[in-house]
Structure 1
């Protein structure tokens, strides 16, 4: 249940993401649809709908269910568009070949060219964010921008319109894949487009959820690697970006641990998300000579065109959204992460973002001037910040037991990482545009790959594990940046090191002690044009791992079902206190609790009256008696000075903070998505499983 959007008249739209193919039509394919016959009202009554009960039968579990309105499909992924020359949500090579794995369900499988090898999900199968840009004053016509969470990724633009009866329809003849335009291809395209935001200046901002960016595993730091003089057990997926068959590195490490005296067997964080990287090379025009029948041989490295890792993991703004071809702008200056979503505030300068995955951050960017006032978006200039949790209560226990996150506010100090212009950061990124898979061998192996590719690959892998990938920003540069930062401050580092916090945001933040401990920070939103006194909501899908271990700034009780925090915007659009307003349930709770509570929150969407839509992407169980995700409506009533007061207001609040939601319970329209065992949000350590880290 992802990608909610509420139209001007209160109509509701969302993405039917990765449903089971065994569901009856029309719910067996990924799609985007709306609820016919239902509209939220914004007259203060907040009495819009009846709650739907839990799905008890298999028939109910295979249906999209609501007590208010019927879910109507607008369009499906992989629908033919552009006179059949393209498929919706599917990227193409420069010569117009669809980049997608073979799909056994495709009736034209034998006739349609396809690619063998690994891809991050079947192309056009994971619609996520939807943002509507109207083209008339009544807001009954316009363009629906949709993120496709694949690699290569895509953002589609589909004209939609509403008739006099309130029903919506899509004009598929004039739909387009923005990743196949020259504007976005010039940036290297996109990967894993997840959630996004409708900017105050009326454009879609898409977030790239590049899970393969970690330099280090979990709570480790680059300094740990340098001190240990080995990255065994410490290095993340980023080091293997330009390795031939990068998605196979974990299997290779297991072999090295058994036969090559590698210190330990481990899986680099984010390595599963290296799938699809070579498909990005094809998107950019690389030779596909290793494509034979249904196999991707990759017996030789890609040496002509290869994606630059520093071009992925950003917010992408589609300027001039109604133009024949919108202009794609990547905000490199806002930092590089596994962005789930951005949230631009009413000052049009302050942007909050969440990075999804294990041991990740929430970040803040503040532009020097309102972003739309820059004549050239590449001139956007500003400061990037990382969070530091400062209150002792976040890591204190009572009576030997950890505190529940339900009772503890998080006090945040924002650490300045650096100040730059968008053009400056892009120029640093461009320095790595010519790195290919051949460079992986030449920088790290003594054996000539052409003579013995297997031996050269083994040598290169072991060298990279021990000393890092020398083709990109080095471990030593990150540690030296942090040393100079601590000594001279963010403005006192050497000029050539200023790139570090923008290209290696997570690693740099960890190195200076920022609280990069959030697990699956999956949602951030506020009302449109939010100002001082309004709220920003942060959805943390799982409160575990680094948030519940014995180190760092946050050491609290584990709540696998996650937490939604609320922060009040201050006069300068800063937020300094995160208050828990929805908590639980835990995976150890019984179905009687978990069946009727928000778990594993994904997108959060603040409606104009202050209510918040909370989406789930949690794969049902454990704890649940059914496998479906749902949509909840959170209705805030009052704000206590402390988290404890908020809990006291909730008559159902449990002492351990697990189970029912704080304040009002957060239970509203629970549109059970019709997927019996659909795939879930991927995590950093286990790939496409049930979202548990």
Structure 2
């Protein structure tokens, strides 16, 4: 019997006993006499003794059991609700970019294109944040953080809005756009940090205000080379040799811009990673074509429309070959006097956000930052060699009957596109060298068409003729696999992969956690890691993710605020399931009616970093006046 029922029963027994007792204690009234025809009341008897309590009745039969409730969803790692902590905010106008955590626990991140109206300086740096800025949170070891961290405040004063405000340590500026490091003499950078020059002309093209990815290659305790992407058209990568003294302060002893002349320059170097063998992987997020259902624009060499995103300035007087841009670039010889860049055509051509190599040193996952993008996988033929292998596209199956972004996941299978090597793909690319405006024919194209890609996907023996929608270069020629590597999105889509992601941004693992969970190699002393995940930032869940068509059909609740997904690393570092981790959310402004992202939630997460203890660092590229560097804890506090 339940406690509540037992209490009710006891109250009933007491009431019965009270009634019995009251009946037993009243004396009999005396008989009435007769005087004058009226009775005389008898004397009231004295109270009788209280009666004894009645015996409790027997318990009633137990009621039938209720039906079991629906099982709740598993918590993250079997723990309770996750937590977002604001680690830092960046100055007005800026994005948080380049988050990189070293093996020693140093966290680098950048202030990308801050407002040039920022004038406030602070005692740490004595410089205003009005140029692209590369820096580090000094004085804190992110491999040894406390469990609970107090949030950095949302900036309120004008001073707070114009500087980096952090919850931990102090943000130290290492370099800013156009810094020459003149005090270093010949080891300085006369051309200026982030400044790009034409390969042929040697003329200055741009002073880049957009530092993005940072990659640190250690050369010893407290010293190494910091590589930074500079995202513009054309793009570039800087390398600074840096050291940390006993007080935690960093200094620069050498600076250079990596020479990309041998690969025809680069375009919009966005995010990236450092391979397990110590080479930076820089991503060209060049706009291959922003139209979902198209290949390279037929008007690329139209003399009436030659806007080629600044690439023509890099390669002038030669007209640029579009198939030479849009790849992952490995910087080999990273610590040598003259690093050598290698464009890996094998990983495909599209708007690369970043490529991340698994601990097997063969499997690579790559994200496409565009509307209607694809999650790609590449498996190299040999470890530590990305020059040959097989490319795949992810096919998603959304959870049945579910559209809520915060709870809807996807089963994943992989569609094989093609195998190839850099040398073979280079021969295909070279066929488009030398094409210029004189080759343009209205209604035709010198570049690959949708009909070309479809013929490849169909398994046709030859390319279609120009009359049947083919391109002039390949018309009627024997079929090959160039479509998979030069027009990778359309190739993946036509083979059945899902081409519906919207701004699939940074993807990240913690190498040691993944190695222990999948490879069985004990590498993290403080924790027995049974499962490891690849995390993916999504800047916004919009357009092709909420259009009610295809493989991804989510609601618009999150929309432009974005979120983070994760995928458990299975045997051989495969991915079979993608699930949401933490999402932003929109609200409607009471003043303007416009949709806004809550300042206490995510606003367009750009890149993610997985810490050694499993917590996640997330950088925003959002709508807030001061974007945030978050830390997300999937475990209980």
Is the strand fraction higher in 1 or 2? 2
The SS at the match of 1:10 is: coil
Shift of 1:26: 2.0
**Normalised TM-score (structure 2):** 0.74
**Normalised TM-score (structure 1):** 0.68
In structure 2, C-alpha distance between the alignment counterparts of 1:430 and 1:592, rounded to whole Å: 47
The SS at the match of 1:86 is: coil
Hey, what does 1:239 align to over in structure 2? 298
- Answer whether contact 1:36 1:71 (CA < 8 A) is retained: yes
Higher relative contact order (CA 8 A, sep 6+): 1
> 2:257 aligned with 1:177, yes or no?
yes
> 2:147 aligned with 1:46, yes or no?
yes
> 2:133 aligned with 1:31, yes or no?
yes
Taking structure 1 as reference, are residues 61 and 486 closer, same or farther at Cα in structure 2, changes over 3 Å only?
farther
Give CA deviations for 1:77-99 in whole Å, capped at 9, x if unaligned: 12226666422222222467343
The SS at the match of 1:502 is: helix
In structure 2, C-alpha distance between the alignment counterparts of 1:236 and 1:503, rounded to whole Å: 9
> 2:83 aligned with 1:70, yes or no?
no
* Structure of greater Rg: 2
Taking structure 1 as reference, are residues 196 and 495 closer, same or farther at Cα in structure 2, changes over 3 Å only?
farther
Is the helix fraction higher in 1 or 2? 1
Shift of 1:309: 0.9
Hey, what does 1:387 align to over in structure 2? 394
> Which of the residues 457, 482, 486 maps onto 2:457?
482
In structure 2, C-alpha distance between the alignment counterparts of 1:362 and 1:539, rounded to whole Å: 12
The answer for unaligned runs of 5 or more in structure 2 is: 1-95, 120-126, 463-476, 519-530
Give CA deviations for 1:399-428 in whole Å, capped at 9, x if unaligned: xxxx21111111111111111122211221
* Number of equivalent positions: 496
> 2:204 aligned with 1:99, yes or no?
yes
In structure 1, C-alpha distance between the alignment counterparts of 2:270 and 2:189, rounded to whole Å: 26
The answer for unaligned runs of 5 or more in structure 1 is: 101-121, 221-234, 249-273, 287-304, 398-402, 445-459, 488-493, 621-626, 639-663, 665-693
> 2:600 aligned with 1:596, yes or no?
yes
> After the TM superposition, which of the residue ranges 559-568 and 579-588 deviates more from structure 2?
579-588
Q: Could you list the runs of 4 or more consecutive aligned residues of structure 1 that deviate by over 6 angstroms after TM superposition?
A: 589-593
Hey, what does 2:527 align to over in structure 1? none
Taking structure 1 as reference, are residues 546 and 367 closer, same or farther at Cα in structure 2, changes over 3 Å only?
same
5 Å-filtered alignment, 1:271-670, equals 274-282=308-316, 286=317, 305-372=318-385, 380-391=387-398, 393=400, 396=401, 403-440=403-440, 444=441, 460=442, 463=443, 467=444, 469=445, 471-484=446-459, 496-529=479-512, 530-531=514-515, 532=518, 533-558=531-556, 559-560=558-559, 561-586=561-586, 588=588, 594-620=598-624, 627-637=625-635
> After the TM superposition, which of the residue ranges 384-393 and 572-581 deviates more from structure 2?
384-393
> Which of the residues 211, 227, 239 maps onto 1:127?
211
The SS at the match of 2:607 is: strand
> 2:211 aligned with 1:213, yes or no?
no
The SS at the match of 1:604 is: strand
Shift of 1:339: 0.5
Give CA deviations for 1:208-242 in whole Å, capped at 9, x if unaligned: 1012335xx23x3xxxxxxxxxxxxxx56633333
Shift of 1:562: 1.2
5 Å-filtered alignment, 1:109-128, equals 122-128=206-212
The SS at the match of 1:128 is: strand
In structure 2, C-alpha distance between the alignment counterparts of 1:194 and 1:156, rounded to whole Å: 13
Taking structure 1 as reference, are residues 479 and 62 closer, same or farther at Cα in structure 2, changes over 3 Å only?
same
Hey, what does 1:194 align to over in structure 2? 270
In structure 2, C-alpha distance between the alignment counterparts of 1:64 and 1:58, rounded to whole Å: 12
> 2:115 aligned with 1:20, yes or no?
yes
